[in-house]
Every structure is written in C-alpha cells, then in structure tokens.
Amino acid sequence: MEQNKTKLSDNERIKRESNYLRGTIAEGLKDPITGAISPDDNQLLKFHGSYQQDDRDVRDERRRKKLEPDYQFMIRVRMPGGLATPKQWLEMDRLATTYANGTLKLTTRQTFQLHGVLKWNLKQTMKEINEALFTTLAACGDVNRNVMCTPNPNLSDVHYEVYEAAKKISDHLLPQTPAYHEIWLDGEKVIDTSVGQEIEPIYGPTYLPRKFKIGIAVPPSNDVDIYSQDLGFIAIEEDGELKGFNVAVGGGMGMTHGDYRTYPQIARVIGFCPTDKVVDVAEKIVLVQRDYGNRSNRKNARLKYTIDSRGIEWFKTELQNRLGWELEEARPFHFTHTGDQFGWVKGNKKWHLTLFIPSGRVKDDEETQFLTGLREIAKIHTGEFRLTPNQNVIIANITAKKKKEIEKLVEQYHLAGGTYASPLWQNSMSCVGFPTCGLAMAESERYFPTLLKKIEAITKEVGLKQNEIVIRMSGCPNGCSRPALAEIGFIGKAPGKYNLYLGGGFAGNRLNKLYKENIGEKEILEALYPIFQHYAKERKEGERFGDFVIRTGYVEEVHSGLDFHGSKTVKNI
C-alpha cells in the first residue's frame, strides 16, 4: 500500500494519455491481423460501453494451434431504469441475431448486453444501437454507469417521477467527450483548440478512479439492491407524492479473494434531499470521489474505500461544503424484499406482466422460446419493456385489449411457469461467467441451474418448497449478481469450486458471511442439507433463512463490510 500510494495505477496513465478516451481505438479496429485491440485501448473501450472478451472454452486449444484467442466483444447498452420501447426491443433482437451470438442478455443493472460481436462488426453494431436511440457511452469504465431505478410502474404513483430522476442523473453524468461520435458514428473530428473550454466539466481528463454505480429504490421494494450501490437514493413518498430521497453512500460488491483489504460493503444512509436537488447531490458525490478516490490501487478505489478510510463524518462534511447546504435528516422507510413480483398485475389503469428470465438470458431452447416469444410480443405491444434489476423483464402498460393477445403468446412460447415458477428460482440470480467473461474463475450462468435443481430437491424433501430464499451465484468475487447480499451466496474460486456464504438479509440490507471455503457441488449440498432440515423444523414464524442461520449460529451477523472477513480484515489507511 505505502509504495503504491506514491505511484498512480497504469489505468490513470492510459486515461491521461488517451485524449479524452480516443486512444488508438479507431486504428485498432482496422488492424486485420488481429481480432483484438491493444491492451491500453481495451481499458478505454470500456468507457464506450464494450469489453473485449474471448471464448475461454477454446482459449487453450487455440493457443496450442498458434491461433490468438477467439476474441469477441461484449456491448452493453446504457438505458436508465431499464426502459425500452417495443421498437427498441426489436432492434436489439435483430442486432443480437445479426452480429452477436443470437441471445440477448438482460443484466443485473437493468440493461441489454450483446455477446460475441466480432471486431469487424463492432463499429456497425454500435452505430445501429445508436440509431435505435440507445447509447453505449459510459455503460462501463471509470464513470457513472447505467442508473438503476425500481421499474415496477404498478408499485407506486410516483414511479414516473422517480424514473425521470434516474434519467436526469444519468444524462447529467454522461461524459461529454466527442471521441464516442468520432469513433463509432463517423462524427466530425473535433480539434481541441478551444482554450478554456472544458471538455469534461465533471470528470476532467482522467475521469473517476473506478466505476461508479447509482440506483434509486422505491420502498418497499429494494429490487435495485440499494445497499450495493456507490450512491443509492431511496424514494420517500408521502401521501402519494414524491417528497425526495434518502441518500445512501459507499456500497459495493467487488473484492479480491485472499486480499483482506478488499470487501463488499453496504451503503450507509446519510440524510435526505428534496427531489429537485437529486442531480446536484449526485454530481457533488461524484466530485468527492473524483478528487479523493484512490488512484494508485484499483482494488481500493471504489467510493466505499474512500469513505471507510476517511470516515463517514468526513464525507458528510466534504459533501456539505461542496453543496453549500446540509442534507436533511433521513426519513423513515421500510424495505421488504429484493426480488421481483411475477405475473400479471394492474396499476395505473394498465396491465403489467413480469416474466422470469433464467439468468437474464433471452434465448430459445427446447423448453422455452424467450427470444422468439418476446420478439412476437414486441411486434404487437403498445406499452414498453422494463428490464428489472433481477435480470427479468416487465412487459409494462399493456392495454386491456392487448392483454389477451399477449397472454396467448406467453403460452405459445412457454414464457411463464414450468421449472422456473418456483420461489427458489424466482429469487435467484447468476452472472455470466464462463465462457465469455474475462474475470470468471468458475462457471456461473451455465452451471447455476444444475445446482439450483439439486438445492430445490433438498428443499422439497425437507418441506420448504414454498419458501422464498434468495440464492445468488457469481463466477468471481467482483459480484455482478450481488452474491454478498444473498441469503445463500456462491462466489467462484476455481473451476468447480465456490465459497459458500450465508446470512444475507432477505431485503438486501445485510451482507452474508463465509461459511465454507473453496468447495465443490457435493460439499455444497452436504453443507446445506442439515441447515435446511434445521430451518424447516425450528424456524420461527415468518423467519427468513438469512436471519435463521445467524440466530442459530451457523454464521455471525455482518454489520458492515469491515466485519466481512472477521479478524482477517486489513484496514485501509
């Protein structure tokens, strides 16, 4: 740490030298000898909404064949609150089948991802996404990412106002560099001669030290996992009116195995701000992080570490100084769950249908035809689509007239029911993992259903069939599926090996704790079996699984990320 403090991380050099995110991306796209772009450009490409990946299933095989890895690109869309029109859905569907791997990935941050796009098609795909009135700018990278917001319009009258807030924050924090237009949309090259005019008034030339995530929750739903966000806003509704937001700061999932200076952390509520101040508050918090975040060690660069190393009081003061006013005292709120409410509901005089999408992967297989089914629905739907923070989809604002037709399509393509109708499945999430994710240490999306079926068999056997338990799996400790907040969390360590965590809060308000380290399927099932049995027999009325394992001593309760590793935690200076 000490030696690192003086030396900036290499990503800082890349950003500084990139001329506002240009680097040599445009040149790299044209190099016919490789399907990749340079390592430096890779870091920059993230800011444009794309990651270079490769098919890791064949990486080793190709190396022996003296072929470079099977490089391909993931493209992530930026769509605040997960909102897409039917036309946009159809466009994404077309791009997925034309340039990507024929599937649409709905992410845990309410957006679309395309996987498997070749370098030669990258520019064209980006262009067409923009033509569909989406952007990919700042969907990844050291900037504010896609802003999440509770998508369920039937839940509250204030939903539209909340969505507007999410969109405003997202737009306000969007990078201003013309590089994006130049590279992807054949925009005019802008020569930076205008002295005094700032290209990135908020971010500056080196952007943020690390990624920055914002989400807005509308209680009682905590579907956006407000405690996992760098910055969370909790909508406060009084008498059917949106009064403003409680502000929560310093949450985040990512950690590194074996590095006890890193840990998942839950955001802490520091006050309340009125609705019209929400953009200002977001901007100022981003600025504090821009100026104080750790730029030498990327593993300690998220806002949670900035706050934990300097103290929450310091942070509040710093924020107040920049705002020029003080946050009000936080208002009362209550979360009851993180999961989605499936099926048909009526709200705002329209119908809404929430469908469970296994691992958020919209594809066709023998059992279900989500890709075709949702395409057919998009063709006739007059409302909109809303991607949920649990990787599911809401077909929102369906007229009474269309309801019948859509019901028919749901049935025809097997989009509801079946295996996935059980509460265990519907409260589950897994990240992408192998073969495309470069960070994956173990399988996730491809293996999770297998494991879940076996876990479900145990719950049925011990009589827990109708119980909701939040189970999440991530292929690595970066935690895209937010496993550290699950009642049962699996974090990959090596092929076939996972750390098993227990005791997260059902409403996403408590981190879980390591129960067994580095175990395979057999040991996982052996570890869970007696606990399920115990839970079935001795749980108190309404007691959640996550609470039960703490009360009965399987794991200790975690109050803060600083307790996550227990005595092993190393405090950041």
Partner 1 sequence: MQFNVNNSPFNEEQREYLNRLIPTLTEAQKIWLCGFLSYPFIAGYEQSVQVDQTAAPKMEQSIQTREVTVLFGSETGNGQSLASTIVEKLQAKQLPVQSFSMDDFKPQNLKKVQDLLIITSTHGEGEPPENARSFYEFLHSKRAPKLENVRFSVLALGDESYEFFCQTGKDFDKRLEELGGERLYPRVDCDVDFEDPAEQWMSGVVAVLHETSNANASTITVSEKQAAATLLEEKQSVYSKKNPYPAEVLENINLNGRGSNKETRHLVLSLEDSGLTFEPGDSLAILPENDPELVDSLINELGWNPEESVQINEEGDIYSLRKALLSKFEITRLTKSFIQAAAELFHHEELKKLAEPGNEEKVKAYLDGRDLLDFVRDFPPVQLKPVDFIQILRKLPARQYSIASSLKANPDEVHLTISTVRFQAHGRNRKGVCSSQIAERIQPGDMLPIYVDQNPNFKLPSNPDTPIIMIGPGTGVAPFRAFLQEREAEGVTGKSWLFFGDQHFSSDFLYQVEWQKWLKNGVLTKMDVAFSRDQAEKVYVQHRMLEKRKEFYQWLEDGAVVYVCGDEKHMARDVHQTILTILEKEGGLTSEQAAVYLDQMRKQKRYQRDVY
Judged by beta carbon, residue 260 or residue 344, the one nearer partner 1 is 260
Asked if residue 32 binds partner 1 (CB under 8 A), the reply is yes
Ligand-binding annotation for 140, yes or no, is: no
Q: Which of 109, 145, 284, 513 is catalytic?
A: 145
Asked if residue 496 binds partner 1 (CB under 8 A), the reply is yes
Cβ-contact 261, 253 below 8 angstroms:
no
CB of 496 to partner 1, least distance (A): 7
Judged by beta carbon, residue 65 or residue 404, the one nearer partner 1 is 65
Distance CA 154, CA 158 (A): 10
Which positions ≥6 away from 266 have C-beta within 8 Å? 227, 228, 251, 485, 509, 510, 511, 560, 561
Judged by beta carbon, residue 29 or residue 118, the one nearer partner 1 is 118
Distance CA 249, CA 269 (A): 6
Which positions ≥6 away from 389 have C-beta within 8 Å? 82, 108, 109, 110, 148, 150, 151, 215, 223, 224, 225
Distance CA 345, CA 153 (A): 10
Distance CA 467, CA 248 (A): 30
76 is a catalytic site residue? yes
Judged by beta carbon, residue 76 or residue 493, the one nearer partner 1 is 493
Asked if residue 518 binds partner 1 (CB under 8 A), the reply is yes
Is there a cis peptide before residue 477, judged by omega within 30 degrees of 0?
no
Stretch that binds partner 1, among 29-37, 204-212, 305-313, 457-465 (CB under 8 A): 29-37
In the window 390-429, what residues touch partner 1 (CB under 8 A)? none
Which positions ≥6 away from 366 have C-beta within 8 Å? none
480 is a catalytic site residue? yes
CB of 32 to partner 1, least distance (A): 5
**Binding partner 1 by CB under 8 A: which of 27, 198, 259, 365?**
259
The 47-86 contact track toward partner 1, x by CB under 8 A, reads -----------x-xxxxxxxxx-x----------------
Distance CA 258, CA 45 (A): 29
Judged by beta carbon, residue 400 or residue 494, the one nearer partner 1 is 494
Helix (H, G, I), strand (E, B) or coil at 423: helix
Q: Which of 15, 22, 46, 76 is catalytic?
A: 76
Judged by beta carbon, residue 30 or residue 401, the one nearer partner 1 is 30
CB of 439 to partner 1, least distance (A): 11
Stretch that binds partner 1, among 28-36, 215-223, 225-233, 234-242 (CB under 8 A): 28-36
Asked if residue 349 binds partner 1 (CB under 8 A), the reply is no
Judged by beta carbon, residue 240 or residue 258, the one nearer partner 1 is 258
Stretch that binds partner 1, among 42-50, 211-219, 251-259, 409-417 (CB under 8 A): 251-259
Q: Kindly report the CA angle at 146 between 122 and 88, in degrees rounded to 5?
A: 60
Asked if residue 517 binds partner 1 (CB under 8 A), the reply is yes
Judged by beta carbon, residue 33 or residue 195, the one nearer partner 1 is 33
Q: How many residues bind partner 1 (CB under 8 A)?
A: 28
Q: Which of 149, 480, 493, 510 is catalytic?
A: 480
Judged by beta carbon, residue 10 or residue 411, the one nearer partner 1 is 10
In the window 433-472, what residues touch partner 1 (CB under 8 A)? 441
Stretch that binds partner 1, among 268-276, 340-348, 489-497, 558-566 (CB under 8 A): 489-497
Asked if residue 493 binds partner 1 (CB under 8 A), the reply is yes
**Binding partner 1 by CB under 8 A: which of 35, 252, 435, 477?**
35
Judged by beta carbon, residue 260 or residue 529, the one nearer partner 1 is 260
Cβ-contact 306, 273 below 8 angstroms:
no
Stretch that binds partner 1, among 44-52, 255-263, 283-291, 371-379 (CB under 8 A): 255-263
Ligand-binding annotation for 149, yes or no, is: no
Cβ-contact 298, 11 below 8 angstroms:
yes
Ligand-binding annotation for 476, yes or no, is: yes
Run of H or E residues at 245: strand 241-249
For the chain, helix, strand, coil in percent to 5 are: 35, 20, 45
145 is a catalytic site residue? yes
CB of 302 to partner 1, least distance (A): 18
CB of 116 to partner 1, least distance (A): 11
For residue 233, give both structure tokens.
């806003």
CB of 284 to partner 1, least distance (A): 34
Distance CA 343, CA 359 (A): 18
CB of 510 to partner 1, least distance (A): 25
Alpha-helical regions (H) of 18-147: 25-30, 39-47, 59-64, 86-98, 119-131
Q: Which of 152, 162, 129, 150 is nearest to 242 (CA)?
A: 162
493 is a catalytic site residue? no
Asked if residue 34 binds partner 1 (CB under 8 A), the reply is yes
Angle at which helices 86-98 and 119-131 cross, to 10°: 170
431 is a catalytic site residue? yes
Distance CA 499, CA 508 (A): 19
Cβ-contact 243, 274 below 8 angstroms:
yes
CB of 64 to partner 1, least distance (A): 6
Q: Which amino acid is at 563?
A: D
Label the pairing between strands 148-149 and 214-217.
parallel
Sheet with 231-238, edge to edge strand ranges:
148-149, 214-217, 231-238, 241-249, 268-274
CB of 1 to partner 1, least distance (A): 12
Q: Kindly report the CA angle at 351 between 350 and 354, in degrees rounded to 5?
A: 140
Would you list which residues are annotated within the binding site? 431, 437, 476, 480
- Residue numbers annotated as active site: 76, 145, 211, 213, 431, 437, 476, 480
Which stretches of the chain bind partner 1, using CB under 8 A?
A: 32-35, 58, 60-68, 70, 118, 120, 257-259, 441, 493-497, 517-518
Would you list which residues are annotated within the binding site for [4Fe-4S] cluster? 431, 437, 476, 480
Would you list which residues are annotated within the binding site for siroheme? 480
